[in-house]
Structure 1
Amino acid sequence: MATRREVLLDAAITVLGTRGIHGLTHRSVDAAAGLPSGSTANLFGTRDALLDAVVERFAARERAVADEVRARLCPTTPAELAQAMTTLAHEATGPNRVLTLARYAILVEAGIHPALRAQLLRTGARVNDWFAQWLRIAGSHDPDRHLPILANHWTGVVLHELAVPDPAFDPSGQITALVTALIDPRPAEVPT
């Protein structure tokens, strides 16, 4: 059973994902949680304190989604990696749409709040670690180079779909083209 704190933070994530950063107030979180006025302010005295806690809760929820995906998928080839990334894009823009919109709202806010930026880098490191592991398993000989290219492309694809939804959304072609262009599953040649 969720604690009162978790209920409030989940409500704050919903507010972020449905109304954006400017909609995030103590009152809007109270209303979204269905709790009495002042409930959020009692736990998080300032908006910055609320936002800091939201980032931690958000990161925990995203890690849970990532862990669930990792339990289902383990791509071992570039084609399987592209399919896994496509599956993740569909989940991010479908069942996890509000959580993903909250992530983008937080990312934009981090552009003007260095403390948030540092917090996001810290909480995102785990996701980067498992994605680098997927890259290695799929045959990448340079995951440090390939990770930002693929992750940034994926982020852009998802952002575009969130901003301009397409009922026929299917990023598989472009993701497959990029993954297979970057990752050559043949063993790396050792210079002589």
Structure 2
Amino acid sequence: MPDRRTILADTALALVAADGLKALTHRAVDAAAGVPTGSTSNVFRTRRALVDAVVDRLEARDLALWHDDAGAPPPGTRDELADRLAHYLEVFGVAQAELTRARFAISIGAPDAVVAAHARFLTIAEGMVAAVGADDVPRRARWIADYCDGALLHQVTARRGDAIDPGAHRSAIRRLLD
């Protein structure tokens, strides 16, 4: 069973996913978690600490997805990497769309809170790009991150409910790797 800190952070994440960053207050988390008033502020003393907890939970969930893939062989070719990233776009854009909306709400409303997590993601992306033998690794990793962010933003907002075309994403990502 998750500890109290994790339960409160997950509840906070659910609030942001449902109603945006403006809905994130200590009292709202207390109410949604069904805990006594003041419980959340005892664990997360400031609003920034609460926002940081949401960012940490998002990153933990993202890393759990990567770890679920740990049994799969790492992408060894550019085509395999494009396939894998297109798959992740489908997961984040459909199955985890609410969490992706929360990620964007925090990125826009509290950009300083996501800087470190974004840097860690770029490090992972650079490792994948380097592993498939692409040149200019940092630049290509940023291009892929920017493409994925833009594709996800459209998928969970303006194209909400539309089917994802993994083939189109695969093709676009593949071009970014060449």
The answer, yes or no, to whether TM exceeds 0.5 is yes
Q: Give the TM-score band, short-chain normalised.
A: 0.7 to 0.9
Post-superposition, which runs of at least 4 consecutive aligned residues in structure 1 deviate over 6 A? none
1:130–1:48 Cα change, 3 Å: closer
Q: Which runs of 5+ in 2 are unaligned?
A: none
Structure 1 stretches lacking a partner, 5+ long: 185-192
Larger radius of gyration: 1
Residue number among 147, 164, 171 corresponding to 1:169 in the alignment: 164
Give me the TM-score of the superposition, normalised by structure 1. 0.81
Residue in structure 2 matching 1:145, options 116, 135, 139: 139
Alignment of 1:78-117 (within 5 A): 78-111=78-111, 114=112, 116=113
**What pairs up with 1:174-189 in 2 under 5 angstroms?**
175-184=169-178
Deviation per residue, 1:89-140 (Å, 9 max, x gap):
11102222222222111110234xx4x2xxx222333322222122122231
Q: 1:68 to 1:125 in 2, by over 3 A?
A: farther
User: Aligned residue for 2:152?
Assistant: 158
Cα distance 1:20–1:3, how it changes in 2: closer, same or farther (>3 A)?
A: same
Percent identical residues: 34
1:15 is the counterpart of 2:9: no
Per-residue deviation, 1:70: 4.3
Contact 2:15–2:24 (CA<8 Å) still a contact in 1?
Answer: yes
TM-score (ref. length: structure 2): 0.87
Q: What is aligned with 1:72?
A: 72
- In the TM superposition, what whole-angstrom CA distance separates every residue of 1:13-48 from its partner, at most 9, and x where no partner exists? 111111100111112212322323322122223322
